Structure formats: structure tokens, C-alpha cells
Chains A and B, each alone.
Chain A
Amino acid sequence: MNGATTGGSSLALPTHPSSRQGRRGLFALALLAVGASFVALGMGAVGIAPIQTLAILAGKLGVDGIAEFASNQQGVLLSIRLPRVLLSAAVGAALAISGAAMQGLFRNPLADPGLVGISSGAALAATATIVLGEALALELAEGARILLLPFAAFLGSLVTTFLVWRVATRSGHTAVATMLLAGIALNALAGAGTGVLTLLATDPQLRTLTFWTLGSLNGATWPALWVVLSMTAPALLLIPRLSRALNALLLGEADARHLGIEVERVKLAIVLLTALAVGATVAACGMIGFVGLAAPHLIRLLLGADHRVLLPGAALLGAALLVIADLAARTMVAPAEIPIGIVTALLGAPFFLWLMLREVERGGGLR
């Protein structure tokens, strides 16, 4: 029972089974994300074969002669499809990792940036910017306009998050149930605010708003991509570093503290990082539901709930899912586009239900 005996034991120790499975799973998911991106880069009004895609990208890096391609193919790929696919991937990854982190933080697989009011707060602020701020934005330079919407959305998500936080926190302790309930109330309030603004909107604004409420990656440009990347990078890079703390938090906050985790600091970090990331995605392409909920769930079903695998896994799967969904959104009824929010629900919900039922029948259950 003491330290000296642990070294010389004759026990045959199996290697940790889930870590091996996790590495394989992550590798497969990375392949899926890259593969989906390649397919998405080639498909659309202008067809580009995978080898041509490779040739154009390599040409950009100074390696020529892999394959022949037309200049319009190059133009479409570099200025339209590449930023759009990368934006889909970044948004999908950010939504999925935020969802996974909040579910861990709240110990509730239903938690999602949408549920705690982060998305709707961002949406309210962004709507207000579109409807009320048009006059103001016209005065601003092009560069500033691109930043205005994400910044407003981030402020919106931050304000709602802190309101929820304040309501739920008593003497340094955050009650999760209260936080979820407060989130639901603020969701309703933000929804009402967005509704009022819709009534005030002009017809062209209304079209923008409708499309935007259902989600669209139509506005993907390189500058928009850089804004989203810079706002989601902190979440994507820093949240995985909290995976050990999130694992401990699954036991409950008291037990996590007994394991040496500074729970309040972890909470603050996750709330700030997700508010930043989700605000950026809402500003860039509206409210895209389901990814933040579904991607982490699927990873839990496939690879288990260990956050060291779950967080990167959810990010990769979220990226792949959104790239595929956006591909479907822009090709299914071309030249028109379906809002991506509809596609994510149509593609994901039945699959998700099937997986869930399978798991319940096996006796595992989601809980």
C-alpha cells in the first residue's frame, strides 16, 4: 500500500485501453475533416477535380506542374471556396468545442451555448447592429464594418453570459441549475428583443435577418475568415488544456476541488472563451444549431467522455460536419442556397436519433 511496492510488482499490466482507442479515433476524425474539405473545395458550379485542387494549392505555395487547371478554377477556388470551406471548418470546430466544454462544465449533456443564452445574446446584439446601426456602419470604413458585427455579437454574448453568471452565483459558488434556468429566461428575453427589432427592420434588412437567423456561410471572405479565426483560436487552443479539470468536474464541483482543481477559475475561463468564440461564429454566419450539441454527443458515444479525447474529437467532427452541411446547403438546390441551419438539422437529427436509440437499446443510455 505504500509507494515502494508499486515499482516491483509482478502484475501484468494491460496498457490503458481507452487512450489507444482515443488516438485512433482522433486520427480517423482528422482524416474525415480533411477529406470532407477536399470534396467541398471541388464541388459547385465550377467543377474542380481533387488533383486540380491540389495543383492550385501547391501552385500557391510555389510548387507547379502537378496538374492542368483553368484560371477561372483557380479564381473560384482561392477567392470563394477556400475561405468558405475554412470558415465552415472554423465555425463548426468552435461551436462543437464550446458545446463540449459547457456540457462538461454544467455536467449536463444538454448544455449548449444556445441553451445558456450565449447565442441568443449574440444574435440580439448583431440584429441591433444590422437594424439600428446601418446608418452608423455606412459611415465606417469597409474594414471597420467587418469588425463591427463580430464585436457587437461578442459583447452581446458576454453581457448575457455575465447576467446569467451573476444571477446564478452566490458567494463565489455557481449553481448550475439556476444558471441553466437563468439562461432559458434570458433566451426568451433576447428572443423578444430580436423580435421587436425585426418589426422595426426595413424590407431588405428583413431578408438579411431571416437568412441570417437560419444561418448562412454565404458571406465567407478572407477578411471575415481572419476575424473568425482570431476570435475562435483562443477557445480551440486553450479549452483542450482544461480537459483534466473538465474531467474532474464531471464528478461534481466539490469533488473536483478535492482533486485540487481551482473550479471558479476554470468556469471563468470557459465562459469567456466560449463567449468569444460563439460571438464570432454568430456574427459571421448567424445561429447554427445542433452542431454544438450533436458533435460532442457523437464523440461520447464513439470514443467515450474523457475530455482529452472529447474536446479535440468534437472540434474535428464539428468542422467536418459543418463543411459537409455547407456543401449540401450550396449544391442541393443550386444555384439557390438552403440556409445551413436547416441542413444541419436535416442531416444531423435523424442520425443522432438513430445513434441514441441504439445506445439506449444496448443499455448504456445517455443521461
Chain B
Amino acid sequence: MIAAETVTVRAGDRALLDRVSVEARCGEVLAILGPNGAGKSTLLRALSGEREPDAGRVCMGGRRLSAWTLVERARVRAVVPQESALAFPLSVLDVVLMGRTPHVQRRETVHDEHVGWLALQAVGLSTFATRRYPTLSGGEKQRVHLARALAQIWDARGERYLLLDEPTSGLDIARQHEALSLLRRLAHDLSRTAVAVVLHDLNLAAQYADRILLMRGGQAIACGNPTVVLTEENLRRIFGVEAVIVPHPRAALPLVVPLSGNALAMEKIE
């Protein structure tokens, strides 16, 4: 389990996170939702240790995060960034193998390369291994970084943690569902991986997340099961949108149908 306990993060006078408490439990996918500037990425940065909280604390596996060394963290916890600065002509496989960095002593073993190939396969990019990374499309690059993160924690013992910041923003609809179901399988496999993912698509979150955290203005507003959290009232309060929640036609899931301006006008006329 990776947990934020009343975490506050400030930038100057402004609180980017205001006493946020949330936990990503092993065996579940936690989706973090909220409008732009709600503090989702900051929360992820606090959970990963990239940003030291100004108040409160972050615990991973029951231990304060600051008590872990960087390598110890890296062996069990991977982070997928929103976008990467990588612009040098490395091959896709080389980028994925970077994920093995915390495990490698002197050089990669056959096992490390094996893990790299399996991770590439898991994201459907095994035919891309020798392609140079800068020549890939945005969505392909995102999948490469997902594979890198998978390779990093692939064979970690005990609890594993995966933190992702909008990993689906550049993916087409099929790839979005592939990526999310991959995360869900990863979390549920032996129930020893905690996945925390920042998402924008409410319905994607409803389908794949075990729990949803709704954030606004640096605060955690609601957290829980998708059916409990995704209410018309919450969407109005947090996103400022009018929407109706209808039952999913094929599964016991909520389906969010945002109402356009036109639809609202029609409603009033009627």
C-alpha cells in the first residue's frame, strides 16, 4: 500500500495539495480524477517522492517514503510520466531496458533482456524493438514508457507500486482500453500491485478503476467505488458539468453522459 497522510504541498503561498489523504491499496486500481489544476499530478509527484510534502507524510509498504533509498524505491515502484524529455536516438528496446536500471549490477543479464521483451509484448510493441524511439508517434511513445515501467517492477518481490500520469492521453480508443485492462490485470494478479493512475476520461475510470478519487482545488473531495463517487451532484460540484448517470447497458457500472448546452436548452423548452 502507498498512502498519502494529510499531505500538503505549497508553491509559494498557494496550496497545490491541501491536507490530502488517500491510499492506493495492493490489488486495486485507484483512478485520480479532477479538472485541470486540481492537484492530480502534484499528488502523484508526492506519492512518488519526487515532491517532498510540506506537511503530512507519504508511506509506502508501511514505511515512511523518506526512509527508503532511491534504489530501494526504484526496485518496487515505477512511475510513468505524462510525457518524456527523451529526444536521443535510442532504440525502443534500449528505452524499455532502462527500466531494469535499479536491478542491474554491471550489465544486463539474459533475464533482464527477457523481461524487456515480455514487457514490450505486454503493450503490443514487440515488433518495434529495434525502431529508434524519436521516430515513434506520441501514443507509441507512451506505450514504450508503460513497457519500461512494467520491466522495472516485473519481477519485484513482495508489494509493487505503479504510478501513472495520464498514460492514455495520446492513445486511440482501442489502445486506451488495452492499456487500462493491462493495468487492471497487473493490479489483480496475486493482489500485490497497487496502481494509481491519473485519468481524464470518466467512463474509462468507471470501467477499470476499483476506486476513484475526485479532486478539486488541491483537495480530495470524494473517494470510493465508481458507483458511489460518480454522481450527478459530484460531477456538477467538481467539474461544473451537467451530466446524467445511466446504468451501463452490459455491466453493473455507471455510465456518465455529459449534457451539451443544446441538450440542456431542449430540456428547458420541454
Residues of chain A touching chain B, judged by Cβ–Cβ distance below 8 Å, are: 1-3, 6-7, 9, 11, 13-18, 107, 109, 244, 247-248, 250-252, 254-255, 257-262, 300-301, 304-306, 308, 363-365, 367
Is B154 located at the chain interface by the 8 A CB criterion?
yes
Q: Are A255 and B114 in contact (CB under 8 A)?
A: no
Q: Are A258 and B74 in contact (CB under 8 A)?
A: yes
Residues of chain B touching chain A, judged by Cβ–Cβ distance below 8 Å, are: 48-50, 69-75, 77-79, 81, 84-91, 93-94, 97-99, 101-102, 104, 107-108, 111, 113-115, 117-118, 121-122, 129-130, 132, 134-135, 152, 154-155, 157, 185-186, 189-190
Q: Are B70 and A247 in contact (CB under 8 A)?
A: no
Q: What CA separation (Å) do A17 and B90 show in the bound complex?
A: 12
Q: Are A260 and B75 in contact (CB under 8 A)?
A: yes
Closest CB-CB distance, A355 to chain B, in whole Å?
Answer: 13
Give the residues in chain A near B132, CB-CB below 8 Å: 304, 364
Q: Are B90 and A304 in contact (CB under 8 A)?
A: yes
Q: Which of B94, B102, B155 contacts A306 (CB 8 A)?
A: B94
A305 touching B88 in the complex, CB below 8 Å, given contacts A2-B155, A248-B101, A259-B74: yes
Q: Are A244 and B101 in contact (CB under 8 A)?
A: yes
Q: What CA separation (Å) do A283 and B197 show in the bound complex?
A: 54
Q: What CA separation (Å) do A107 and B90 show in the bound complex?
A: 13
A1 touching B98 in the complex, CB below 8 Å, given contacts A13-B113, A260-B75: no
Closest CB-CB distance, A181 to chain B, in whole Å?
Answer: 18
Q: List 14 A-B residue pairs with CB atoms under 8 Å apart, sorted by A's residue number.
A: A6-B154, A7-B111, A107-B85, A251-B86, A252-B81, A255-B85, A258-B50, A258-B78, A259-B101, A260-B74, A304-B94, A305-B90, A363-B135, A367-B134
Give the residues in chain A near B85, CB-CB below 8 Å: 107, 250-252, 255
Give the residues in chain B near A251, CB-CB below 8 Å: 81, 84-86, 98
Give the residues in chain A near B99, CB-CB below 8 Å: 259
Q: What CA separation (Å) do A332 and B269 show in the bound complex?
A: 91
Q: What CA separation (Å) do A259 and B75 show in the bound complex?
A: 8
The 8 A-B pairs with the shortest beta carbon distances in the complex, nearest first, are: A260-B74, A3-B155, A305-B88, A260-B102, A260-B71, A252-B85, A259-B101, A258-B79
Give the residues in chain B near A17, CB-CB below 8 Å: 91, 93, 129-130
Closest CB-CB distance, B202 to chain A, in whole Å?
Answer: 27
Q: Are A257 and B84 in contact (CB under 8 A)?
A: no
Q: Which of B50, B111, B118, B122 contacts A257 (CB 8 A)?
A: B50
Closest residue on chain B to residue A303 by CB atoms: B89
Closest CB-CB distance, B147 to chain A, in whole Å?
Answer: 13
Q: What CA separation (Å) do A364 and B132 show in the bound complex?
A: 8
Give the residues in chain B near A364, CB-CB below 8 Å: 89, 132, 134-135
